[in-house]
């Protein structure tokens, strides 16, 4: 496999764009990424587009119809919340395998005010819909209970999880690309409307619209086109699914596949968790971020609560250590499903290359960054980037 | 004779209540049925299986009656749900006595108390009960299973 670099990135501010079409949102991110890379669509040899909610809409082709119909191979990717990061990995694989020298990954989603995802089943007669009658399969319940497993085992509290939300909302105040940039206090978070215990409103990510794109190139092309600028290398790009557990039918296991992916990614990149300058992880809920501290080996088993209490996850500029989700995370940056996985790679790349788009929240001397996404049921991606 | 009995059974079933999911059986008394892998023992809640996701064998699979009691593994209290679903309610993962887990509502336990002292619900012994939760388009009562603290 060949070395692959991220030559350019583009992202629109996450929010709500009812007046725009999905190909316009995605095309906007693609053109920004190409502009950042200093090339045009005529140089692109492959495109992977991630979109989940309208996976049958052929947005890869419709984005090409918006920004340039050059006849290149293009694919549409749907992989739950890991949709965008899986599209990124497809573009990475195309370049790494030598099938193309320049590839684009774009993730885009227009969710509007859609909420409470999941909880399907039951066929056409609503009387047989199990949601609310046989417990809840909605995302707040699933990820709430992932946090409850930690509470049960280690005595972690709602306050620990609430502190994560305080931290990430504070981070977002420095990110102009975030959907929500309002600081909240611990009191605000704890007293906010409960959605699904232990997650209150501020501990749940919003839905919304967004797009992000990355241009991936071979080492040779990077040297030709980067013009001496520092570009990030994809040191690992891993995708896993969840192995069988006896509780599968009742509660998806969001941890094991993340741990497997983390081990594979650290090994492929030749680094350990202690080498990470920053991590963007999948905090769809504050309770999810809590368990992923341990799943990504950012702290010891059972010590996620202690990690938070001691400033873990906070930006070093705020006196913290092991920065996690300095973008504001899904909790405040937003989670337009298909865009999420590409956007968190953009964030990591911006810190590694001292890009002006991360200026206000730059992690000093960033050399290695990790981007993690998990989607039910279940796909996990981990991309590690280095400079 | 057997044919006649079958016809009568079908008629009785046709006018009677219906389980909300196929793995809930209402006769002779309400119980859950899983499909058990003869090779490794993994038990699934789907009514049919073509292979085992744990041991990768093609079975054989047999019906296994699941215990009507277990313990609460974890739970959440749901405050926001679909239209028509009364909140707050407790959703929980119940570890049944034979190692199989199911997702269900827990009744007869205060959601407020569960939030105040979550550890009071972890490992709580519970037993299965059934309830009518609505009528389908053909007018049949639809029955769910749920769990209450064991008496």
Q: A232: Cβ–Cβ under 8 A, 6 or more apart, which residues?
A: A5, A6, A348, A349, A352, A353, A369, A385, A386, A387
User: How far A324 CA lies from chain B's nearest CA (Å)?
Assistant: 26
Has domain A4-114+206-386 been given CATH number 1.10.3720.10? Answer: no
Chain A residues with beta carbon closer than 8 angstroms to that of B79: 193-197
Nearest to B144 among A125, A133, A246 (CB): A133
For residue A313, what are the β-bridge partners? A323
B100 touches chain A (CB under 8 A): yes
B136 touches chain A (CB under 8 A): yes
Cβ distance B78 to A193 less than 8 Å, yes or no, reads no
pLDDT in tens, chain A (387 residues): 999 999 999 999 999 999 999 999 999 999 999 999 999 999 999 999 999 999 999 999 999 999 999 999 999 999 999 999 999 999 999 999 999 999 999 999 999 887 777 766 667 898 999 999 999 999 999 999 999 999 999 999 999 999 999 999 999 999 999 999 999 999 999 999 999 999 999 999 999 999 999 999 999 999 999 999 999 999 999 999 999 998 988 999 999 999 999 999 999 999 999 999 999 999 999 999 999 999 999 999 999 999 999 999 999 999 999 999 999 999 999 999 999 999 999 999 999 999 999 999 999 999 999 999 999 989 999 999 999
Q: With bands split at pLDDT 50, 70 and 90, how would you rate the model's confidence at B99?
A: confident
Nearest to A244 among B42, B88, B93 (CB): B42
According to DSSP, residue A127 is labeled G
Chain B residues with beta carbon closer than 8 angstroms to that of A133: 20, 85, 105, 133, 144
Domain boundaries, chain B: 20-66, 68-151
Cβ distance B74 to A251 less than 8 Å, yes or no, reads yes
The whole-angstrom separation of Cα A177 and Cα A174 is 9
Q: Which residues of A are catalytic?
A: 81
pLDDT given at position A249 = 83
> Cα–chain-centroid distance for residue A79?
12
Can you list the pairs that B129-134 forms with residues at least 24 positions away whose Cβ atoms lie under 8 Å? B130/B24, B130/B26, B130/B30, B131/B107, B132/B17, B133/A127, B133/A133, B133/B20, B134/A127
pLDDT digits (tens, 9 = 90+) for B135-148: 999 999 999 999 99
A144 touches chain B (CB under 8 A): yes
Asked if residues A197 and A144 have their Cβ atoms less than 8 Å apart, the reply is yes
pLDDT digits (tens, 9 = 90+) for B50-92: 999 999 999 899 999 999 999 999 999 999 999 889 999 999 9
Whether residue B10 is predicted with pLDDT greater than 70 in this model: the reply is no
Domain boundaries, chain A: 4-114+206-386
Q: Which two tokens stand for residue B130?
A: 């059934």
For residue B34, what are the β-bridge partners? B64
User: How far A186 CA lies from chain B's nearest CA (Å)?
Assistant: 18
What are the helix and strand counts (H, E) for chain A?
A: 12, 13
A192 touches chain B (CB under 8 A): no
Cβ distance B78 to A141 less than 8 Å, yes or no, reads yes
A148 touches chain B (CB under 8 A): yes
Whether residue B1 is predicted with pLDDT greater than 50 in this model: the reply is no
Segment 80-119 of chain A within 8 Å of chain B by CB: 116, 119
For residue A25, CA distances in Å to A62, A95, A213, B49, B97 come to 11, 25, 11, 43, 52
Q: What is the pTM of this model?
A: 0.95
pLDDT given at position B98 = 87
The whole-angstrom separation of Cα A245 and Cα A225 is 48
Segment 256-315 of chain A within 8 Å of chain B by CB: none
Asked if residues A25 and A210 have their Cβ atoms less than 8 Å apart, the reply is yes
């Amino acid at each position: 496999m060949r070395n692959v670099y991220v030559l350019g990135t583009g992202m629109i501010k996450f929010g709500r764009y009812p007046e725009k079409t999905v190909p316009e949102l995605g095309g906007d991110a693609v053109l920004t990424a190409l502009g950042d890379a200093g090339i045009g669509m005529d140089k692109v040899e492959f495109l992977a587009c991630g979109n989940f909610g309208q996976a049958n809409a052929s947005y890869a082709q419709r984005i090409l119809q918006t920004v340039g119909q050059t006849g290149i191979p293009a694919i549409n990717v749907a992989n739950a919340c890991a949709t965008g990061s899986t599209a990124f990995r497809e573009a990475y694989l195309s370049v790494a395998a030598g099938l193309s020298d320049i590839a684009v990954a774009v993730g885009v989603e227009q969710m509007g005010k859609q909420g409470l995802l999941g909880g399907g089943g039951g066929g056409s007669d609503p009387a047989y819909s199990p949601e609310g009658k046989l417990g809840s399969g909605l995302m707040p319940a699933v990820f709430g209970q992932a946090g409850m497993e930690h509470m049960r085992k280690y005595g972690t509290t709602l306050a620990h999880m609430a502190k994560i939300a305080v931290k990430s909302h504070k981070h977002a105040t420095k990110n102009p690309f975030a959907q929500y940039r309002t600081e909240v206090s611990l009191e605000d978070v704890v007293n906010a409307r409960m959605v699904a215990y232990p997650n209150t409103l501020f501990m749940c990510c919003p839905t919304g619209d967004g797009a992000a794109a990355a241009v991936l190139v071979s080492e040779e092309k990077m040297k030709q086109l980067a013009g001496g600028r520092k570009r990030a290398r994809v040191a690992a790009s891993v995708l896993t699914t969840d192995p069988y557990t006896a509780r599968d039918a009742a509660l998806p296991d969001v941890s094991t596949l993340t741990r497997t992916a983390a081990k594979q990614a650290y090994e492929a990149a030749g680094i350990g968790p202690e080498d990470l300058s920053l991590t963007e992880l999948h905090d769809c809920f504050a309770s999810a971020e809590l368990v992923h501290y341990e799943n990504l080996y950012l702290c010891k088993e059972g010590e996620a609560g202690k990690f938070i209490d001691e400033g873990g996850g906070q930006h070093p500029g705020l006196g913290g250590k092991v920065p996690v989700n300095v973008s504001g995370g899904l909790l405040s940056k937003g989670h337009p499903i298909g865009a999420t996985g590409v956007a968190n790679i953009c964030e990591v790349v911006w810190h590694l290359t001292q890009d002006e788009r991360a200026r206000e929240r730059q992690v000093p001397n960033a050399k290695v960054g990790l981007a993690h996404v998990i989607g039910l049921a279940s796909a996990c991606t981990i991309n590690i980037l280095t400079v | 004779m057997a044919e006649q009995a079958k016809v009568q059974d079908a008629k009785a079933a046709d006018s009677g209540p219906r389980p909300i999911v196929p793995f809930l059986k209402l006769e002779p008394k309400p119980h859950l049925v899983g499909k058990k892998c003869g090779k490794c023992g993994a038990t699934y809640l789907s009514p049919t299986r073509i292979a085992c996701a744990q041991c990768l064998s093609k079975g054989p699979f047999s019906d296994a009656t699941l215990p009507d009691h277990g313990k609460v593994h974890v739970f959440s209290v749901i405050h926001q749900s679909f239209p028509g679903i009364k909140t707050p309610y407790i959703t929980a993962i119940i570890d049944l006595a034979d190692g199989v887990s199911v997702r269900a509502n827990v009744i007869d336990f205060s959601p407020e108390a569960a939030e105040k002292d979550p550890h009071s619900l972890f490992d709580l012994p519970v037993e299965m009960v059934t309830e009518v939760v609505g009528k389908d388009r053909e007018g049949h009562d639809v029955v769910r299973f749920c769990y209450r603290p064991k008496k």
